[in-house]
């Protein structure tokens, strides 16, 4: 890895519908490019950028923060679900026509990394009504300063399921890495884990993608980098605080 | 050397004329109290169609000056001469309606003898019955009339009716009414009203009692309306043929066929799917369409600061996004709309396809105020096959001042031919389509969604 990848500025470009000439598109900072096949960044549409702008803005009140982050999370879930397998199914439509479609194959479950990840459960349920949701609590160990697993409650048959792992902010990726290792210990194969994330740091996501090459990451935005305290910049502050308490 | 003729970059889009563009106007004149209003009402009642409208010439009385106002209260103002009517405004109004445009009809207060500050909006009638003592007076109006009717009654009967009406409905006293009758109404009849008689097409003696005459007029209008419907249907077919040749323009977006999208479409199209599941998956699919539609609205760069004080250059939406639902199908998408914009201003337009002719018909229209100022108007329909309703709805938005490129038409499924026709006629509107369906697909999505 390059010595200081974090300081590289994020790309700024005109954002807008394809058919509009560049001069008519407003300029905004968009996600950094990530060259890993297993990392999928949502299309940087003006709509997505506007939603992210709302939740980054420190003046956005909690109710609006919740509303706008839920909308982004739904977009993430919709994109994430596209990585699940389907099998062909043909139906006869209400007007008597044959339609060759597909059927969703395989059971899924959500696993949220507490507490910020739990904020993504609503968005997941908006798209998958009765999905089972497991929880993992990971905290920083005061002595070793390393992330430590404090609690987990997962479906008993998790090894047979596809897992949508939820955590909105991905900085160094310590918690996410430990969560994936926990899932693998429970018998979930790496390729059946989808990590859904709002904002990621470029170094964190790169390291994660290399460590778990079969796992897929779906994120809305790869940010500029990390500051000296390992916070994502520009980021959006503490997601859990802004969603639950501020 | 010859001068260079102006260069036209592209051929003009094929035009769509809604059925109300070629409006029929029927003028009914006659003495005060002759029964014009009753005849007009009887015609409307017999036709029993929502697009037949009575326009009363009294609405076009001029506002009186202070001096005239005093005269009016003393029953000394002549309301029966042509000067009391604002014919210029009436002519302009009729011309606008004839072009298919929206018109604001003044509201006149008989109590204050003044035009009120508010107006009534009149849009999309196919037949107007213009009723007033001088309906056939102005040659500019006569020229626009399809049928000219003169209602006649014995002058004693007229006076009797006028007394009753003015006392009951306009709160006047008998003395004043009689004074006005002999000073103005009767002389005016001889001078202005009666001379309209020879230029009329039909003279109806005995007013409302004359059912034979009214029946004739009704039959005539019905024939005219049938012609118009046939022409409209023919026009729609012609536009469909023109459009079949063209490609989709770049502002038509069909959602990419992702596994989830096909999966949802499979569930939705499976008759075995429970109602509850149908609604859930429909709302989910429609939410994706709405989020996509919001990409089409206007955005401006915005500098914000995160809680840690880091700057971020993002975007803010610019201006209002409103929506118009084409009923009943379009209202299926409202749940999804409200998920993204909970307080979205929403207009409604009921367009029904005539079961016999297949022609789309406008039955009801309620649009938000200042629609023309909104940054984006999302026009919603659950499904579009031939696209007649969509074509009509876009026309309505344009007639209310909304620019083409501010319209985003959102539909879950559309037939290719209908879609091409829509974009050939309105090449600058944006379209978001969930799935291209077979040609001639009947509307079934709304039945499934509402369960009836």
pLDDT in tens, B328-342: 899 999 999 999 999
Test B304 with A92 for CB contact under 8 angstroms.
no
CA distance B287 to chain A (A): 9
Instruction: Specify if A9 maps to a domain.
Output: no
Confidence class for position A7, pLDDT limits 50, 70, 90: low
Test A26 with B301 for CB contact under 8 angstroms.
yes
Which chain B residue has the Cα nearest residue A233?
B310
Tell me what percent of the residues of chain A surpass a pLDDT of 70. 94
Q: What range defines the domain where residue A199 resides?
A: 23-245
Test A82 with B269 for CB contact under 8 angstroms.
no
ipTM of the complex model: 0.86
pLDDT given for residue B222 in this prediction: 87
Question: How far is the C-alpha of B314 from the C-alpha of A89, rounded, in Å?
Answer: 42
DSSP for B47-68? Answer: H--TTEEEEEGGGGBPPPPHHH
Determine whether A126 is an active site residue.
no
More confident residue, A238 or A4: A238
More confident residue, B33 or A202: A202
**A165-200 pLDDT per residue, tens:** 999 999 988 899 999 999 999 999 999 999 999 999
Query: What are the extents of the domains in chain B?
Result: 24-231, 247-450
**B279-326 pLDDT per residue, tens:** 999 999 999 999 999 999 989 899 999 998 999 999 999 999 999 999
Question: How far is the C-alpha of B84 from the C-alpha of B96, rounded, in Å?
Answer: 22
CA torsion sign for B258, B262, B268, B274 is negative
CA distance A242 to chain B (A): 10
- Fold match between domain B24-231 and domain B247-450: yes
CATH of the domain at A32: 3.40.50.2020
Test B271 with A71 for CB contact under 8 angstroms.
no
Confidence class for position A4, pLDDT limits 50, 70, 90: very low
Determine whether A140 is an active site residue.
yes
Question: Across residues B260-274, what is the average pLDDT?
Answer: 93
CA distance B46 to chain A (A): 38
Q: Is the pLDDT of residue B14 over 80?
A: no
CA distance B341 to chain A (A): 10
pLDDT given for residue A18 in this prediction: 62
**A64-110 pLDDT per residue, tens:** 999 999 999 999 999 999 999 999 999 999 888 889 999 998 899 99
**Fold of the B247-450 domain:** Rossmann fold (3.40.50)
Question: How far is the C-alpha of A177 from the C-alpha of B378, rounded, in Å?
Answer: 43
Average pLDDT in chain A: 89
Residues of chain A in contact with residue B258, where contact means CB-CB under 8 angstroms, are 82
Three-class SS of residue B396? helix
Instruction: Specify if A5 maps to a domain.
Output: no
Domain at B24-231, CATH homologous superfamily:
P-loop containing nucleotide triphosphate hydrolases (3.40.50.300)
Question: How far is the C-alpha of B55 from the C-alpha of B52, rounded, in Å?
Answer: 10
How far is C-alpha B47 from the chain's CA centre? Answer: 18
Test B263 with A237 for CB contact under 8 angstroms.
no
Residues of chain A in contact with residue B311, where contact means CB-CB under 8 angstroms, are 234
Confidence class for position B73, pLDDT limits 50, 70, 90: confident
State whether residue B11 sits within 8 Å of chain A by CB: no
Question: Across residues B377-395, what is the average pLDDT?
Answer: 90
State whether residue A211 sits within 8 Å of chain B by CB: no
**B406-438 pLDDT per residue, tens:** 999 999 999 888 888 888 889 899 999 999 988
Q: Is the pLDDT of residue B41 over 80?
A: yes
Residues of chain A in contact with residue B430, where contact means CB-CB under 8 angstroms, are 17
State whether residue A102 sits within 8 Å of chain B by CB: yes
Tell me what percent of the residues of chain A surpass a pLDDT of 90. 64
Dump strand ranges (E) for B57-201: 103-109, 114-122, 127-131, 147-152
Instruction: Specify if A1 maps to a domain.
Output: no
Tokens 């949802």 — which residue?
A: B264
Number of domains in chain A: 1
Chain B residues 248-277 with a CB less than 8 Å from chain A:
250-251, 258-260, 262-263, 265-266, 269-272
Question: Across residues A207-223, what is the average pLDDT?
Answer: 94
Average pLDDT in chain B: 87
* Residue B409: Cβ within 10 Å count: 29
Determine whether A74 is an active site residue.
no
pLDDT given for residue B250 in this prediction: 81
Which range has the worst mean pLDDT, A46-50, B1-5, B186-190? Answer: B1-5
CA distance A177 to chain B (A): 25
Question: How far is the C-alpha of B195 from the C-alpha of B113, rounded, in Å?
Answer: 27
pLDDT given for residue A120 in this prediction: 93
Q: Is the pLDDT of residue B7 over 60?
A: no
Q: Which of B296, B308, B314 faces A49 most closely, judged by CB atoms?
A: B314
Tokens 């998958």 — which residue?
A: A128
Q: Which of B262, B299, B441 faces A95 most closely, judged by CB atoms?
A: B441
Catalytic entry in A57, A141, A157, A241: A241
**A16-60 pLDDT per residue, tens:** 766 666 677 888 888 988 889 999 999 999 999 999 999 999 999
């Amino acid at each position: 890895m390059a010595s200081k990848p974090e300081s590289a500025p994020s790309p700024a470009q005109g954002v807008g519908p394809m058919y509009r000439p560049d001069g008519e598109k407003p300029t905004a900072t968009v996600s950094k490019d990530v060259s890993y096949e297993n990392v999928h960044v949502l299309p940087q549409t003006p709509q997505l950028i506007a939603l992210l702008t709302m939740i980054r803005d420190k003046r956005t009140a909690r109710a609006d923060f919740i509303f706008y982050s839920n909308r982004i999370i739904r977009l993430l879930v919709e994109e994430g679900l596209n990585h699940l397998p389907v099998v062909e199914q043909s139906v006869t439509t209400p007007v008597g026509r044959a339609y060759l479609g597909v059927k969703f194959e395989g059971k899924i479950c959500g696993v949220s990394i507490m507490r910020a990840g739990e904020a993504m459960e609503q968005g997941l349920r908006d798209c998958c009504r009765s999905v089972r949701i497991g929880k993992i609590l990971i905290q920083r160990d005061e002595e070793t300063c390393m992330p430590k697993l404090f609690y987990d409650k997962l479906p008993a048959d998790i090894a047979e399921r596809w897992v949508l792992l939820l955590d909105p902010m991905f900085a160094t990726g310590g918690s996410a890495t430990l969560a994936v290792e926990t899932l693998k210990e429970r018998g979930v194969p790496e390729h059946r884990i989808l990590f859904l994330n709002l904002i990621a740091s470029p170094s964190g996501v790169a390291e994660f993608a290399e460590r778990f090459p079969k796992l897929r990451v779906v994120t809305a935005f790869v940010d500029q980098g990390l500051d000296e305290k390992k916070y994502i910049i520009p980021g959006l502050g503490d997601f859990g605080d802004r969603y639950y308490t501020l | 050397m010859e001068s260079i003729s102006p260069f036209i970059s592209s051929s003009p889009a094929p035009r769509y004329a809604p059925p109300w563009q070629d409006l029929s106007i029927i003028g009914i004149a006659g003495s005060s109290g002759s029964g014009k209003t009753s005849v007009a009402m009887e015609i409307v009642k017999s036709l029993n169609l929502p697009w037949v409208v009575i326009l009363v010439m009294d609405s076009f009385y001029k506002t009186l000056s202070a001096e005239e106002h005093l005269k009016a209260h003393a029953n000394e103002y002549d309301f029966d001469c042509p000067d009391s009517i604002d014919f210029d405004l009436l002519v302009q109004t009729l011309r606008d309606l004839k072009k298919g445009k929206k018109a604001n009809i003044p509201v006149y207060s008989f109590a204050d003898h003044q035009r009120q500050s508010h107006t009534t909006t009149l849009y999309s009638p196919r037949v107007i019955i213009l009723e007033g003592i001088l309906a056939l007076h102005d040659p500019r109006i006569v020229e626009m009339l399809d049928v000219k009717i003169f209602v006649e009654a014995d002058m004693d009967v007229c006076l009797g009716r006028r007394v009753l009406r003015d006392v009951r409905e306009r709160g006047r006293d008998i003395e004043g009414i009689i004074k006005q009758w002999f000073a103005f109404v009767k002389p005016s009849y001889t001078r202005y009203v009666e001379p309209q008689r020879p230029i009329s097409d039909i003279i109806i003696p005995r007013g409302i009692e004359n059912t034979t005459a009214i029946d004739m007029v009704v039959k005539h209008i019905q024939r005219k309306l049938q012609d118009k419907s046939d022409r409209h249907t023919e026009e729609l077919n012609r536009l469909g043929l023109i459009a079949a040749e063209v490609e989709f323009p770049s502002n038509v977006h069909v959602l990419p066929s992702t596994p989830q999208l096909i999966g949802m479409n499979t569930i939705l199209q499976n008759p075995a799917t429970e109602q509850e599941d149908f609604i859930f998956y429909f709302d989910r699919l429609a939410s994706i369409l709405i989020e996509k539609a919001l990409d089409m609205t206007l955005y401006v760069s915005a500098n914000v600061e995160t809680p840690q004080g880091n700057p971020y250059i993002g975007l803010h939406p610019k201006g209002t996004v409103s929506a118009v639902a084409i009923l009943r199908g379009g209202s299926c998408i409202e749940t999804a709309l409200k998920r993204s914009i909970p307080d979205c201003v929403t207009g409604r337009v009921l367009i029904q396809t005539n079961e016999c002719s297949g022609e789309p018909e406008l039955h009801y229209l309620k649009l938000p105020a200042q629609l023309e100022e909104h940054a984006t108007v999302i026009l919603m329909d659950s499904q579009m096959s031939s696209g007649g309703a969509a074509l009509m709805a876009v026309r309505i938005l344009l007639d209310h001042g909304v620019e083409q490129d501010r319209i985003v038409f959102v539909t879950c499924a559309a037939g290719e031919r209908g879609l091409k026709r829509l974009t050939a006629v309105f090449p600058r509107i944006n379209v978001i389509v969930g799935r291209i369906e077979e040609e001639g697909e009947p509307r079934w999505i709304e039945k499934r969604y509402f369960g009836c």
